[in-house]
Amino acid sequence: MKGQKRLLAHNATTTSRRPNALCVSNLLVSTITDRRSPKQEGCFVKHSFDVLVLGSGPAGSAAAITAARSGLSVALIDKSAFPREKLCGGGITGRSARYMAEIFELCPDRNLFLGSTRFRLAFEGSTIGEMADAPVLQMTMRREFDAELHRRAVAAGAQVFAPVKVSTINTETPSLTLADGRILSSRILIGADGANSAVARSLYGRAFDPAEIGFGLEVELDRSLTDDNTVEIDLGAAPWGYGWKFPKNDSITLGVGGLHAKNPDMQAYFRKYLALHAPHLRDKSRIRCKGAFLPFGAYRKVPGRGPVLLVGDAAGLVDPITGEGIAWAMRSGQFAGEVAVRTLQTNTRPMDAYMERLRYIHREIAVARRIRMLIYATPVRRYFPRTVERNPSMTRSYLRLLSGEVDYHDLGHKVLWRIARQLGVAALGR
């Protein structure tokens, strides 16, 4: 009760807090004092919070909004000011749309999203499956999308430190020292700083395993090139990967990505894909293509340690077949925010509660990794187009997975067995 009074007093001093504050035990006295008048420690100024969230992509903003809505004081720290660019296909699946609505109360609207139900599955440019009534895929530009999520986290009460450079990460206390000398400290640190996470590097020495990481290249093309809103996935565009064509409101995104170790020359595959889809672009050297890493199914079994939780790409939570990462980023961010609230209420160990919540996502990624072996492995890959062409229901299954209508575990053994059998038939030429 005493703690609750303190929390409500604290809420009254901040601008956009919700009144449904939780009772958060005895940590808030110092927080209140610190936030009103940061402490001077030698020549450094120290700010204390309940939670520090490093990175404000979908994962970080989800963590921040969840914790801030529950009444915690949250610092949301990013190296960039928003809006900022983020290389991504911007495909928002049905699963992502559900989490977006649940966590951010944001629904797809025409300003931010272009929805399409037209889908084509291709292999090296040839159509192998097509649907005009596919589950809707929303496509967005990450610059605007991430800025909107960030804005909502701030409106819920998160205090922004951006753009800032973080010079030191202490994962024990935990605290961050900014390049300008300010020190931010808290009870919980959430590492939401993407595939090349500095928090993961502080914990494990490196952010990802080079043998397992994915890499993608993309270009934004002029929307006036076509008024066709068909979404395309080309499973033959790169080994252990694929190409994509995602129409947006003001542009069309063409990209190729996959496992980096299997595609040392991703540029070559990208140029081939571009030649197929945009042959009219005579001077291709002038096209500005960009690349980025993504953890393509290589997740951390225990993402964090002590008071530090990793979320989204920093925890490797990307679908190993589709490359979808936004849904799990938002969901894991939400989980970490909830765990922060619980930890401060009950003084329990955050990792146990976080692992419990992540179990479903980890199981999904583990099953998808096994199915990926059958889709992408070199000896069977060449039979894949024929198999899909002969079995239109495989395209529908792929889309149902993408939309979140079914999960990998539901399909699991049935799909593995069916794909194996169909590939066997195709290989025997029957």
Interface residues with ligand FAD (CB under 6 A)?
A: 54-60, 77-80, 86-91, 96, 166, 192-194, 198, 216, 218, 255, 257, 292, 294, 312-314, 318, 323-326, 329
CB of 301 to ligand FAD, least distance (A): 18
Q: What phi and psi values does residue 31 have, to the nearest 5 degrees? A: -65, -45
CB of 425 to ligand FAD, least distance (A): 32
Kindly state the tokens that stand for 370: 């096994």
CA distances from 50 to 59, 62, 148, 154, 157 (A): 18, 16, 24, 15, 12
CB of 192 to ligand FAD, least distance (A): 5
The rounded distance, in Å, linking the Cα atoms of 185 and 174 is 6
The answer to whether the beta carbons of residues 26 and 114 sit under 8 Å apart is no
Residues whose CB is less than 8 angstroms from the CB of residue 101 and which lie 6 or more positions away in sequence, other chains included = 107
CB of 325 to ligand FAD, least distance (A): 2
Nearest to 302 by CA among 359, 259, 372, 340: 359
Which residue, 333 or 385, is less far from ligand FAD as judged by CB? 333
Which residue, 326 or 394, is less far from ligand FAD as judged by CB? 326
CB of 56 to ligand FAD, least distance (A): 5
CB of 296 to ligand FAD, least distance (A): 9
Nearest to 14 by CA among 75, 66, 60, 104: 75
Which residue, 23 or 292, is less far from ligand FAD as judged by CB? 292
Which residue, 194 or 236, is less far from ligand FAD as judged by CB? 194
Which residue, 369 or 418, is less far from ligand FAD as judged by CB? 369
Which residue, 180 or 382, is less far from ligand FAD as judged by CB? 180
Which residue, 27 or 68, is less far from ligand FAD as judged by CB? 68
The answer to whether the beta carbons of residues 296 and 210 sit under 8 Å apart is no
Residue nearest to ligand FAD (CB): 325
CB atoms within 10 A of CB 165: 8
Which residue, 266 or 341, is less far from ligand FAD as judged by CB? 266
CB of 146 to ligand FAD, least distance (A): 7
Which residue, 166 or 361, is less far from ligand FAD as judged by CB? 166
CB of 1 to ligand FAD, least distance (A): 37
CB atoms within 10 A of CB 355: 18
Kindly state the tokens that stand for 125: 């440019």
SS3 87: coil
CB of 198 to ligand FAD, least distance (A): 4
The answer to whether the beta carbons of residues 248 and 139 sit under 8 Å apart is yes
The answer to whether the beta carbons of residues 295 and 318 sit under 8 Å apart is yes
Q: Characterize 17-52 residue by residue with b for buried, 16 or more Cβ atoms within 10 angstroms of its Cβ, and e for exposed.
A: beeebeebeebbeebbebbeebeeeeeebbbbbbbb
CB of 322 to ligand FAD, least distance (A): 8
Taking the CA atoms of 221, 226, 232 and 236 in sequence, report the sign of the dihedral they define: negative
Taking the CA atoms of 384, 386, 391 and 393 in sequence, report the sign of the dihedral they define: positive
